[in-house]
Structure 1
């Protein structure tokens, strides 16, 4: 099957569909990643990803694993649209006079896409993190010593919220309420807290992912005139996404900490990227910068694998073929 050029409208539809399907599938793991990254070594509520998901379901119900998903589902389409359109634009500009892009130019195109996407990514992540982390803060307060309950001389009972039921109600705050409060108190820049850290994460990610996927996918092509098979597209997307996700995981930890507006008792606050890195390394050790790396790989790998499946199937082309007069 010959390689057919994909129109920009079809790319945008494919990116939006892939984003929504992917977010729905892996969002609970993303929630676990955020909570693991935000908890400090001295106040650990969750031991690992599975422990976090089990405790979340017990204390917040099944839908507690999807806190903040609405924000992602709403903004993932414009985020993917900007990322894909920007990558295509920069690739086109850099390919003038060249029959094939060099790896360096592919990395430059990915860098440009990463810079552009933070317009949507930063506020989307900012709102999502507040909603995802609310349950961790309540759980941290619930795991406390209750001196009033005594059995014998001087003994105390540890109150574990997950064995006795939650003792503190999780205040339900919507993304709209958080947005309104941020705009009222800090203006538009309030939604872009952690912009520097987001750039530090998204630029290297795109620089690594786009060229790596292109070259992995190229290896699976029977010939230059044919597409790689379905399974190779999926595996290339998963592989490139996994490598890129792990590579930028320390930046994601810093971004998550900086964008958390609420902190638990005795938890550090940070004034900027360097202050955050310095305090994490000094107080929690260098390994803390890799918190949630496994969860992040489990989130990103299938997300980009699903994206390649959607492109392979041609959802956007099918929609445009059924509605030829549809324009946007």
Structure 2
């Protein structure tokens, strides 16, 4: 299949418009999903309640003590999870941080447990404002255009070529085209995806550059690929299920009662919902891998994370954030594919 330069630009424009519109619509839902999933408790790290301060730690080793005991829970006596504990150590007040005594965080206030998409959205808006709902939007925009253009145009080319060369494998062509296109797109945009997930998992304020520098400082450049395995484990089967379902539904709904755009919207929403449900456990693993890097930059494998989730929360824990994921994926798939098809139709290309 030879793509003329003009047709290539038109398809890129159609995909780009859909990607930008989708990013604006789904970012608050994506933030809610990440916050809900990141509540899952992984192996604990040292907090104020775990650290016994000695004379030496208040003296020459105070920097080490500070580094170890940044309170990761919201501490009423500190009033900020991001504030270092220098004041606690120097004032000998606050969290009862006296030499030789266990530092206790008895007044620590745990963040509220987010119970669902609507609760998460309300809580984020009330505590962080509109800015919190759109955390990670800038890297999402950076990801959206190149990733979507590459993904959709690759799928179009591979689907056409597959149908031409292997007509006897009609049913498998969408599956193979979708998975191949997704592997390429996900691998290229993985570092930006990690930055976006980190920004969505934290309170707003950090820039793309600061988040990038922190990731590299803690885990090296290789850490930018953290979660890629889980991303591929999620996105490759997602694409296989999505495109196979989409093409089958397109044939069944090929009626004059629906326009090309309406048919694409309906098929995209239903196919996206099916694929999202099946692949949610991999999405949970990806989120936990990207949000919860240790201070040494090391991370357990995807299967280890999944086993830990199931062990602590049961099988249902692997589907944490499913409602938020469905609320995000189904409409985003519908908007993206219908915008793409509408754009191609208006620009006079197939």
The verdict on a shared fold, with TM-score over 0.5 as the criterion, is yes
State whether residues 32 and 295 of structure 1, in contact with CA within 8 Å, keep that contact through their aligned partners in structure 2.
yes
Distance 1:230 1:92 in 2: 20
- For 1:103, what is the secondary structure of its paired residue? coil
- For 2:174, what is the secondary structure of its paired residue? helix
State whether residues 194 and 225 of structure 2, in contact with CA within 8 Å, keep that contact through their aligned partners in structure 1.
yes
Aligned residue in 1 for 2:47:
none
* Aligned match for 2:117, one of 49, 57, 71: 49
Residue deviations 1:255-299 (CA, integer Å, cap 9, x gap): 000111468xxxxx9511111011111112111000111111111
Aligned residue in 2 for 1:39:
39
User: Superposed, which structure 2 residues align to 1:31-180 within 5 Å?
Assistant: 31-40=31-40, 45-99=113-167, 102-135=170-203, 172-180=205-213
Deviation at 1:98, TM superposition (A): 4.1
Distance 1:31 1:100 in 2: 43
Cα 1:302–1:29 shift into 2, 3 Å? same
State whether residues 201 and 252 of structure 1, in contact with CA within 8 Å, keep that contact through their aligned partners in structure 2.
yes
In the alignment, structure 2 segments of 5+ residues that lack a partner are 1-5, 43-109
- For 2:114, what is the secondary structure of its paired residue? coil
Aligned residue in 2 for 1:292:
321
Aligned residue in 1 for 2:227:
194
Aligned residue in 2 for 1:15:
15
Deviation at 1:188, TM superposition (A): 3.4
Cα RMSD after superposing both structures = 2.8
Residue deviations 1:4-55 (CA, integer Å, cap 9, x gap): xx93322222221111101111211111100111102697621211111111
State whether residues 31 and 65 of structure 1, in contact with CA within 8 Å, keep that contact through their aligned partners in structure 2.
yes
Residue deviations 1:168-195 (CA, integer Å, cap 9, x gap): xx6x211111213334554432211111
Distance 1:316 1:228 in 2: 11
Cα 1:7–1:213 shift into 2, 3 Å? farther
Rg larger in structure: 2
User: Superposed, which structure 2 residues align to 1:244-255 within 5 Å?
Assistant: 244-255=275-286
Distance 2:35 2:227 in 1: 17
State whether residues 293 and 299 of structure 2, in contact with CA within 8 Å, keep that contact through their aligned partners in structure 1.
no
Distance 2:343 2:152 in 1: 15
Distance 1:233 1:277 in 2: 34
Aligned residue in 2 for 1:239:
270
- For 1:95, what is the secondary structure of its paired residue? helix
Verify: 1:306 aligned to 2:335, yes or no.
yes
State whether residues 118 and 198 of structure 1, in contact with CA within 8 Å, keep that contact through their aligned partners in structure 2.
yes
Aligned residue in 1 for 2:305:
276
